[in-house]
Amino acid sequence: MDRGNYQRGGGDNTGRGRGNRGRGGPHIGGGRGGPHVGGGRSGPQMGSFHQPPQQWGNQPRGSGQYQFRGAPPGRGGTWVNQPVQRGGGNAWQRPQQQGSGVPITAWARPPPQQPQQQGSGGGVATAWARPPPPPQEVVDRPQSSDPVHVDMGSLKITEASSSESSKEKRVPVTRPDTGKNCVKQIELLANHFVVTFDPHSTIMHYDVNIQQQADENRPVKNLTNKSVLHMIRAKLCEDDPIRFPLDNTAYDGNKNIFSAVQLPTGCFAVNWSDGEDVKSRTYDITINLVAELQLRKLEQYLSGNLSYIPRDILQGMDLFMKDNPSRHRISVGRCFYSKNPHKDFRFGFAAYKGFQQSLKPTEAGLALCLDYSVLALRKPMSVLDYLRDYFQIRKEDIFKYNHQAAHDALKGLKVTVNHRRTSQKFVIKKLTDRKTSEITFPLEDPEGKDPPRDVLLVEYFRDKYQREIQFKDFPSLDVGKGSKINYVPMEFCVLVEGQRFPKEELDKDSAMFLKNMSLARPNERKEAICEMVKAEDGPCGAITDNFGIKVDKNMTGVVGRVLPPPDLKLGGQSPLRVNDKCQWNLVGKSVVEGKALQRWALIDFSYKERNRLRVDEFVFGLRDRCIKLSINMEEPAEVHFTDMHELSEVGKVEKLLNFVVDAAKRKINGKLQMIVCVMTSKHNGYKYLKWVSETKIGVVTQCCLSTNANKGQDQYLANLCMKINAKLGGSNMELMQRLPNFRNGDNVMFIGADVNHPTSRDADKYPSIAAVVATINWPAANRYAARVCPQKHRTEKILEFGKMCADLVRTYEELNSVKPNKIVVFRDGVSGSQFDMVLNEELNDLVKDIYDRYKYKPEITLVVAQKRHHTRLFPREGNVPPGTVVDTQIVHPFDFDFYLCSHFGQLGTSKATHYHVLWDENGFNSDSLQRLIYNMCFTFARCTKPVSLVPPVYYADLVAYRGRMFQEVVMEMNASSSTTSPASFEQRFYNLQPDLQNIMFFV
């Protein structure tokens, strides 16, 4: 659709409508869709290109593509005059003046086309689908995200060799065009709220250091507690509100203060005490000016005229937006929850509603993205009341039979005390073994004249606080730090608000209620989001007004496109067309390629249970369903009956599997292909089974529950057959048409990469698990091999990325007798701040390992897939249909990104996946990449519908989770080990048995 017209939102012939950033201006400037010149897109004469000045001449769409080093057009960078030949069109000529140190003064015509050049280590970027900017002197983009001030008089255009380009830092590609392919357009609302600001205003950024003054009696302590630091800073504002106005400043609880007014700098002393019986201490607050942040730089970035993202400005504005909810709501991580619980439950917790928010630079300008959130939190109640609710018995009976259970329920929780006025928070270290009436502790003489004397805890509280302890027969809490003891009777302790209640401890009914709350239908979620934006304790408060920040309380309207679903191929069938929900079934159909299961065994773990597996019926039903799907399945070579106790230890599992394998070997020729394991319930021994079978025995397993197996429903058995066939190396379903953007003669490999991190509460003895998967067949591209590797604790960079990818390239060549000449990498789990690491470290590792090891240079595309974002899309009714893509308004101002909802949302509100292209040597335009990803979502091996995430990433996530299970097994086996180097970091424990290395054991 031609969106170019003369005015939109006040646009004129400069194309600058809508607050100096117009869309659709007809001549020059930042408009989109303008018919002639400037930053326009989809203009009538050059299609997908940003138009060059008229003296460059016009070209048909798709006639050429320019490589650009540094920054996008108009953002500072170096154009390398090496167009990629992608169709016909008039030739572009080099500028009239060029060379080392000679600035370009004019463009006569575009440079002539030349063959694409690539240098070692990745070559120059080939993905820029925009011609050179208007005549101006430009500079390479800075080598970091930090602001760089450049002398504009020294800027030069330079000719770069491929060897030079390999040393330069890569930058993300820009959007080549906006997509047009669709079966229909759909009007949507997005939970983005446009933020306006005064570009002429300034934010003052200060570094703050809070240090406790030295004391003769007590050493200086390092202050790390954010709540304490916030209170000390608040005391400074309270003592001197004229010079330090609280509502004109925002503090991050660490080292940064952002202010709307100038603050005095220097060192300021503050007296503060965290309790009425605690001596006041003096703290030095040192404030230094870091920078005066001009908001015009943010405006320049949003309009594409600044070469780096002004992160410090966004950091300050984000802090302003969070100030109001942080004062009035419960802060948990990055979310803010109402102090009024939505629903109380037993066990001392409640369901709380809240939101999470972030600021995003988008095509529509700066936007506040706010999404609805639900969480189970412990109620701020007395410890005794909490234990009464937790155990559902009278207080008097709690410790008669539940002392250890009470200790486990309380250990690690944060409490405050109410026998004295204090803001201090304590962590429960343990429950005392003795009754409170029997507890004594050494009381030190504050003047140090007399030696410590033992006193009874009840006497101390009576004398010190005039408080009589009521529950003397109960134990007390030890809330001391480290080796220090600090006994406090439980009746004086109150749980701190905002403590998470673990999901795994929820009872079935509570878990279901919370799940239903979090899966709010689209209209309910939309209304909740709008209410929270407008709420008095929401993101819009006094401090945002003081900073001149305004938020439009209406959601952003955007037009989405619904992509057509691909035609599917099943065995011996005409093209399969899916229904409106993009789903299909296998009734009366067969798989594309069924792998015969001739040698298999069955282990029945339900033999001694009431709900025993009906073995004969299950085997008959499974074989019959396999045969109907064209998967030849023989009778099991061995059936072994046992119980779930055999899964209780790794050693027992290994002994069992070896016994079954040996028993089967005596009856058949050849090694077992698979062991089907039927269990009565989910069990911790599942991970033992997988680790032993996949790393030691070398026989793939397929697990299922006896309750489902006995029901024998057709759809359940069909799904089981699909998993079995995929694990054997068969093909369940393929696409009728070749994936877009590739030609006959291409050999393409898709790579998926992910890192699974241990929980934040885990110690650094647990590794992160990196997983890389890759397709090993083409053009079907539906069979994958996987590699898994442990690495340094909570490290997001995949340290062995190049090595793992190179090994997968070797595997591809062994199986296909040819190396892939095109590689598309999908990276999962990284945020925008980590894009540079992925682009300039991980991609460099991949390029180096492949180039150095195999001496060839495939064309590489790198795409980040993000599921952990807050953007939601709302149609007028229901969920967005599968295939909905959005690449305008709510996307990045100029980077190549889009939102794609590829699945049908049966429950709750559908969440689109955000795809962000960082590097592209394969010349994708928006339509071709969007269709590629959407079509691939139909190839997931274990279901009959498209999945929400592109399969390489989905599979990488499954493999990383499998690696996490391996780590847990290794840690349990080495729990008593005293080695200084934890075994869970050793690669040998994660190496798959050779027979399983190149099959889909993980589906």
Q: Which two tokens stand for residue 1003?
A: 């589906």
556: phi then psi, degrees, rounded to nearest 5? -80, 130
Taking CA 905 as the corner, what is the angle to CA 899 and CA 911, rounded to the nearest 5 degrees? 30
972-988 pLDDT per residue, tens: 998 755 554 678 899 99
* Alpha carbon distance 553, 191 (integer Å): 10
Q: Is the pLDDT of residue 962 over 90?
A: yes
Specify the pLDDT at position 239: 95
The stretch 260-269 carries a mean pLDDT of: 96
Sign of the alpha-carbon dihedral angle for 904, 906, 911, 913: negative
The stretch 156-182 carries a mean pLDDT of: 69
User: Is there a contact between 963 and 772 (Cβ–Cβ < 8 Å)?
Assistant: no
Task: For residue 250, name the pLDDT band (cuts at 50, 70, 90).
Answer: very high
More confident residue, 29 or 487: 487
* Alpha carbon distance 408, 431 (integer Å): 9
Q: Beta-carbon neighbour count of residue 697 at 10 Å?
A: 23
Output Rg (C-alpha) for the chain, integer angstroms.
Answer: 32
Which residue in this structure is represented by tokens 């167009």?
Answer: 83
Q: Give the DSSP per-residue string, 296-308.
A: HHHHHHHTT--SS
The stretch 342-354 carries a mean pLDDT of: 92
Q: Please report which helix (H) or strand (E) contains residue 650, including its range.
A: helix 650-665
Specify the pLDDT at position 977: 56
* Alpha carbon distance 696, 924 (integer Å): 43
Length of the chain: 1003
Q: Which two tokens stand for residue 171?
A: 């930058």
From residue 606, how far is each of 642, 647, 677, 689, 737 by CA, in Å? Answer: 7, 12, 10, 16, 45
894-923 pLDDT per residue, tens: 999 999 999 999 999 999 999 999 999 999
Torsion of CA 248, 253, 254, 259, to 10 degrees: 0
Specify the pLDDT at position 835: 96
User: Is there a contact between 618 and 612 (Cβ–Cβ < 8 Å)?
Assistant: no
The percentage of the chain sitting over the pLDDT mark of 90, rounded to a whole number, equals: 71
590-622 pLDDT per residue, tens: 999 999 999 999 999 999 888 899 999 999 999
Nearest CA-CA partner of 571 in 623, 626, 635 = 626
Task: For residue 683, name the pLDDT band (cuts at 50, 70, 90).
Answer: very high
> Measured between alpha carbons, how far apart are the two ends of the chain, in Å?
42
154, burial (CB in 10 Å: exposed 0-12, middle 13-18, buried 19+): exposed
Nearest CA-CA partner of 660 in 649, 676, 643, 681 = 676
Greatest pairwise CA separation for the chain in angstroms: 98
- β-pairing verdict for 822-828 and 859-866: parallel
Helix (H, G, I), strand (E, B) or coil at 732: coil
Q: Which two tokens stand for residue 275?
A: 């309790």
Which residue in this structure is represented by tokens 């079509």?
Answer: 935
Buried b (16+ CB within 10 A) or exposed e, 87-110: eebbebebbeeeeeeebbeebebb
* Alpha carbon distance 517, 376 (integer Å): 11
366-418 pLDDT per residue, tens: 999 999 999 999 999 999 999 999 888 888 888 887 889 999 999 999 999 99
The stretch 856-867 carries a mean pLDDT of: 97
382: phi then psi, degrees, rounded to nearest 5? -65, 150
More confident residue, 157 or 477: 477
> CB neighbours of 952 closer than 8 A, spacing ≥ 6?
750, 751, 752, 773, 774, 775, 784, 826, 936
Specify the pLDDT at position 240: 95
* Lowest-pLDDT range of 9-13, 170-174, 219-223, 285-289: 9-13
Specify the pLDDT at position 979: 54
Q: Which two tokens stand for residue 882?
A: 């599968």
* Lowest-pLDDT range of 44-53, 355-364, 384-393, 833-842: 44-53
* Alpha carbon distance 44, 647 (integer Å): 67
Buried b (16+ CB within 10 A) or exposed e, 636-663: bbbbbebebebbeebebbbebbeebbee
Which residue in this structure is represented by tokens 């990196």?
Answer: 770
Q: Is the pLDDT of residue 72 over 80?
A: no
Which residue in this structure is represented by tokens 């070896």?
Answer: 658
796-819 pLDDT per residue, tens: 999 999 999 999 999 999 999 999
* Alpha carbon distance 317, 360 (integer Å): 11
* Alpha carbon distance 905, 522 (integer Å): 10
From residue 73, how far is each of 69, 112, 895 by CA, in Å? Answer: 10, 19, 12
Taking CA 68 as the corner, what is the angle to CA 62 and CA 74, rounded to the nearest 5 degrees? 95
Specify the pLDDT at position 388: 92
Helix (H, G, I), strand (E, B) or coil at 443: strand
Helix (H, G, I), strand (E, B) or coil at 338: coil
Rounded mean pLDDT of the chain? 84
Q: Please report which helix (H) or strand (E) contains residue 288, including its range.
A: strand 281-294
* Alpha carbon distance 731, 722 (integer Å): 9
Task: For residue 764, name the pLDDT band (cuts at 50, 70, 90).
Answer: confident
Q: Is the pLDDT of residue 196 over 50?
A: yes
Specify the pLDDT at position 976: 56
305, burial (CB in 10 Å: exposed 0-12, middle 13-18, buried 19+): middle
Specify the pLDDT at position 449: 77
CA 567 from centroid of its chain's CA atoms: 31
Beta-carbon-side half-sphere exposure of residue 775 (alpha carbons within 13 Å) = 26
CA 410 from centroid of its chain's CA atoms: 31
pTM of this prediction?
A: 0.82
Nearest CA-CA partner of 895 in 172, 169, 131, 73 = 172
318-340 pLDDT per residue, tens: 999 999 999 999 999 999 999 99
The stretch 930-947 carries a mean pLDDT of: 97
Beta-carbon-side half-sphere exposure of residue 523 (alpha carbons within 13 Å) = 3
User: Is there a contact between 917 and 896 (Cβ–Cβ < 8 Å)?
Assistant: yes
Helix (H, G, I), strand (E, B) or coil at 37: coil
